Structure 1
Amino acid sequence: MEKDVEQSQPQFDIENFTTTLQDTVDTLELWLIESDLRQNGAHSSSDILRLIKQSCDMGYMGRPKATLLAEAVDCSPPLIVKIWNGPQYQKKEIKETRLLTPSQEEALLARVLYIIDTTGFIIAIEIRAEASRIAGKNVGHSWHIGFLDRNDEAIGTIQTDKREETRMKVSKEDVPYYESVLENENKNIPAELFVNADEVGYQQLSDTRRRSIIVRKKDINKYLHNPVDRSETRVSITQCAALSSDSLIPFVIVKKPLRIQEHHIAETRDGIDAILVESEGTTMTGSLFCNWPHSDCVPFADKQRQKLGLDIRTSAVLQIDNCRSHLTADALQICALNNIKMITLPPNSTQFLQPLDLGIFESFKQYQQTLRRHNMHDTTEKVINIAVSALQQALAPDNVIKSFAEGCITRKVTND
């Protein structure tokens, strides 16, 4: 906190004070101030200036010039300005830059209202995209705030419900049972062979924060259905990481058509940077999940066993949620044939026990948003390339180990 007392205060010279102000201040008032200073003592330049300001505010004297006061009190002129205007005074440079003309802003508002009437709502990034198109250059990340303030009679902001608020709570009895199963089944399992898998989705126009949507002013207190069948680019990735901090290649579900050549141009190599599979949508199905162990999980387990000098008789553990598509007969058979124990989380417990949810995916989405800022019109191939890059950043070894620890899973080091 700044102090208005100067750091080095020489002894106050009352004679200089009187001589300097005698031609400007009323003689009687100057004598009273001088007497007060001699009686109470001059502790600082600030105290003297406040005493003079008090006399001026009460109308006993006029305000002397700042340069004259600075000479009389032996202080800097900025201190006088600060005392006179109060501690809250700040000199502000008023700079106003208008990206859109009034007619352009009217056109933008009309476009926003049209989108609201057509789809039910609009979000901030869409407003910024429309404004950038009209202005011919990118607007700032928070430009929409001023736009909403200027047009608050026509549009307003409401908060959508958090998914966590409607999610069922985990049963208290399930957690201790799960922990006991986890402890019994994981005895003598190397950290390199204990892997956790989960799926993460990314939508082009969504982010990790609670969503704000813009609607007509008259609808801000209404319950609005938030549609999910939007046309933005979507990505679904199955990611797996080991307790040893090793990570598998991302398994990316791409909505038809899968254009391998376009992905290569976007610098995503199929089978090296990511495993790309084609589907009607981006949701993990039973058949797609059976494809994942064959192409990703089983080769990883074999490689880890080879690195440790072990064979298939050493079990590996796959920790995963209890989604129905993960528990098909074919998936269980593939895991059994490759000596991979599949351990599922208790129902509705992913927000408490799923390591990747606890420490990786939030960082992934933040990295993804940072990499994609001002690039909302990227192609699907570019979005996937950025997603793979963001996952590589989020899957730093330290993050992976901390995520497992958040899910109550830690490495046990023995002396042998």
Structure 2
Amino acid sequence: MPPNHKGDQEARISQAIEAIHNNKSPSIRAAARTYNVPHSTLAKRLRGQPTYQQSRMANRKLLPTEEEALFQWVISMGERGFPPWISAVRKMADILLSARAGSPTNASPTVGENWVRKFVNRHEQLQSKYTRKYDYQRALCEDPKAISDWFRLVENTRAKYGIPDEDVYNFDETGFQIGVIGTAKVVTGSQRAGKALVTQPGNREWVTAVEAINASGWALPPMIIFAGKMHQAAWYDALPPQWTIAVSENGWTTDKIGLVWLQTVFNKYTKARMVGQYRLLILDGHGSHATPEFDQFCLDNAIITLCMPPHSSHLLQPLDVGCFSPLKRTYGHQVEICMQLGRNHIDKLDFLEAFKPARAAALSSSNICSGFAAAGLVPHNSERVLSRLQFKLRTPTPLASETVIAARQTPKTPYTVAQLAWEYTTIKGLLERRSKSPPSPTEQALKRVVKGCQMAMHNAALLASEIKDLRAMSARQKRKREAPRSYIASGGVLTVEEGQERVKRAQIADEAVLDKVSARAFGHAPSRCSMCSSLEHNARVCPTRVI
């Protein structure tokens, strides 16, 4: 007897059912023997019990046509160089559910946290992978003795100066290439070998963000360093007034900018919040942190600085451990969204627009506290770091009732997936009541038509979401193009509040010039005598006129 495979058995069961309906088999038992299928299974199927596959489909969030539309969308995005993130696939599934329910997304059911993983597992043509490999080169520089000495230094320093947790800070710079998308797990076709390729903007201009965080879970206002010599007024339109913007030749920090940050940002926003008599500032060995001017200002203002061991910031620095990675990942996601919506070049204004929400999400209180805890600093626990050095890197819906069906006698054109499903259920019920025979070619053709309509509606829902995002992006780009480009300073550092004040002064000056031009263009000068230019008479009665 040949092996009884599931797929072959389902085909034989269908043949046995057809033979019984066509009176080609005398009994159910005889048909079961003839087609080599279990008698009980054949009897249950004749009584209307669905197949195992049909039962599983009924318990899934998305209908088969909805899953097919979502699958095609994922493949299409991957072929265009934008393999979607896990969160994007989940969002599109929610949109399809919302379209079927005919209600806003916030009132309709949503898929679960693990739904995308199960969706990928159901489709052999899909797989989830990271867009690039992680860099583990720093692990070669880990030194347990140096790290143990570091924790003893921190503990002794805090005990010596009586520094509480509320006065412990970490400060560092992180660089962004404006148009580079970060690492993320995406969904793509399984036939693609190696890492997923993601289309990126061509702008690799460097921008530096200077950040500082407190062990209590709050962050100081950032300083953004752009490559350039002039400050543009448009940079200051929609930023918080506490933020600071600086310019340098290459977009990196300098000794002067580092000192200005210490004086105008760190000392300004932490001095009033001191609990003890000293503040502890943990930093790395960058040259701008080790200048005599930087050190002298710290000594004069009760700021104790501690420098971490070299090549250890990925283990010991709270910003690196808890904040910078989600910050760059979230910023990369913002850039990828811009690319998907057709923006092929990311400039400084686009950076500020994407950086603001990315920073708000990444530098949350929970991330900051987790960073200090994971670095073993607050609470003090050196084992949180030392224990990690001991491990090697590892490879990584029921049918409607008769009463309800009868209530809808007037046919209407379906415009949504829900209306189409209702119409199909109604027609199918009418066909089943009229005939008890096996499915006819008419019903099979109806199923194909309905499936085609459902696929079209699902694709329309996905396209509507993309069009909405494209229109919003187009409106932002239009406002940016129409905004005049004016310069308000040459070099140096400005807070957003100072930049906005300079913009206002420039606008007032421009309005005054326009008023003067308008008066000259449209005002009427008083009449004067053409003989002596007097305002008191005209040429006919001028005393100087010779008669």
TM-score of the aligned structures, taking structure 2 as reference length: 0.45
Does residue 194 (structure 1) correspond to residue 168 (structure 2)? The answer is yes
Distance in 2 separating the partners of 1:208 and 1:319: 27
Shift, 1:273, TM fit: 4.1
Q: 1:295 to 1:23 in 2, by over 3 A?
A: closer
Q: Tell me, yes or no, if the aligned pair for 2:169 and 2:212 is still in contact at 8 Å.
A: yes
After superposition, give the CA deviation of every residue in 1:68-115 in whole Å (9 maximum; x if it has no partner): x77983124x439969xxxxxx966876989xxxxxxxxxx9xxxxxx
Distance in 1 separating the partners of 2:45 and 2:293: 93
Paired residue secondary structure (1:386): helix
Residue in 2 that maps onto 1:11: none
Shift, 1:405, TM fit: 0.2
Residue in 1 that maps onto 2:359: 391
What is the RMSD of the two structures over their aligned residues, measured on CA atoms? 4.1
After superposition, give the CA deviation of every residue in 1:301-325 in whole Å (9 maximum; x if it has no partner): 31212xx4x6xxx111100111223
Does residue 291 (structure 1) correspond to residue 264 (structure 2)? The answer is no
Residue in 2 that maps onto 1:25: 24
Pairing of 1:17-416 with structure 2 (within 5 A): 21=20, 24-27=23-26, 30=27, 33=29, 52=32, 55-56=34-35, 73-76=46-49, 78-79=50-51, 124=81, 162-165=134-137, 168-187=140-159, 188-209=162-183, 231-265=203-237, 267-269=238-240, 272-305=241-274, 308=275, 314-376=277-339, 377-411=345-379
After superposition, give the CA deviation of every residue in 1:358-387 in whole Å (9 maximum; x if it has no partner): 111122123223333432534302312431
Distance in 2 separating the partners of 1:168 and 1:71: 64
After superposition, give the CA deviation of every residue in 1:145-191 in whole Å (9 maximum; x if it has no partner): xxxxxxxxxxxxx9877543366412222111100000011122122
Which structure 1 residue ranges, 5 or more long, are not aligned? 5-16, 35-50, 59-68, 84-89, 99-108, 110-122, 127-157, 213-219, 222-229
Distance in 2 separating the partners of 1:234 and 1:257: 14
Q: 1:231 to 1:378 in 2, by over 3 A?
A: closer
Residue in 2 that maps onto 1:144: none
Paired residue secondary structure (1:235): strand
Please, which moves more after superposition, 315-324 or 384-393?
A: 384-393
Distance in 2 separating the partners of 1:239 and 1:362: 13
Higher Cα radius of gyration:
2
Distance in 1 separating the partners of 2:314 and 2:45: 68
Residue in 2 that maps onto 1:105: none
Residue type at the aligned position of 1:268: L
Q: Tell me, yes or no, if the aligned pair for 1:322 and 1:344 is still in contact at 8 Å.
A: yes
After superposition, give the CA deviation of every residue in 1:219-269 in whole Å (9 maximum; x if it has no partner): x99xxxxxxxx743432101000111121110111111443411123x125
Residue type at the aligned position of 2:319: L
Question: Paired residues, what number?
Answer: 282
Distance in 2 separating the partners of 1:168 and 1:411: 27
Q: 1:75 to 1:378 in 2, by over 3 A?
A: same
Q: 1:167 to 1:257 in 2, by over 3 A?
A: farther
Distance in 1 separating the partners of 2:185 and 2:133: 8
Q: Tell me, yes or no, if the aligned pair for 1:21 and 1:72 is still in contact at 8 Å.
A: no
Residue type at the aligned position of 1:194: V
Q: Tell me, yes or no, if the aligned pair for 1:250 and 1:388 is still in contact at 8 Å.
A: no
Residue in 1 that maps onto 2:388: none
Distance in 1 separating the partners of 2:309 and 2:353: 33
TM-score of the aligned structures, taking structure 1 as reference length: 0.58
Q: Tell me, yes or no, if the aligned pair for 2:228 and 2:251 is still in contact at 8 Å.
A: no
Paired residue secondary structure (2:378): coil
Residue type at the aligned position of 1:297: F
Distance in 1 separating the partners of 2:216 and 2:263: 22
Distance in 2 separating the partners of 1:81 and 1:236: 54
Distance in 2 separating the partners of 1:331 and 1:235: 22
Shift, 1:409, TM fit: 1.4
Distance in 2 separating the partners of 1:344 and 1:403: 17
Distance in 2 separating the partners of 1:329 and 1:162: 37
Q: Tell me, yes or no, if the aligned pair for 2:172 and 2:284 is still in contact at 8 Å.
A: yes
Paired residue secondary structure (2:338): coil
Paired residue secondary structure (1:375): helix
Q: 1:247 to 1:81 in 2, by over 3 A?
A: closer
Which structure 2 residue ranges, 5 or more long, are not aligned? 1-5, 7-15, 56-62, 74-78, 84-129, 187-192, 195-201, 340-344, 381-547
Q: 1:354 to 1:72 in 2, by over 3 A?
A: closer
Residue type at the aligned position of 2:364: A
Shift, 1:210, TM fit: 7.8
Q: 1:234 to 1:294 in 2, by over 3 A?
A: same
Q: Tell me, yes or no, if the aligned pair for 2:179 and 2:335 is still in contact at 8 Å.
A: no
Paired residue secondary structure (2:173): strand
Distance in 2 separating the partners of 1:244 and 1:80: 55
Distance in 1 separating the partners of 2:223 and 2:173: 9
Shift, 1:394, TM fit: 1.5
Q: 1:374 to 1:72 in 2, by over 3 A?
A: closer
Paired residue secondary structure (2:210): strand
Paired residue secondary structure (1:409): coil
Distance in 2 separating the partners of 1:167 and 1:71: 61
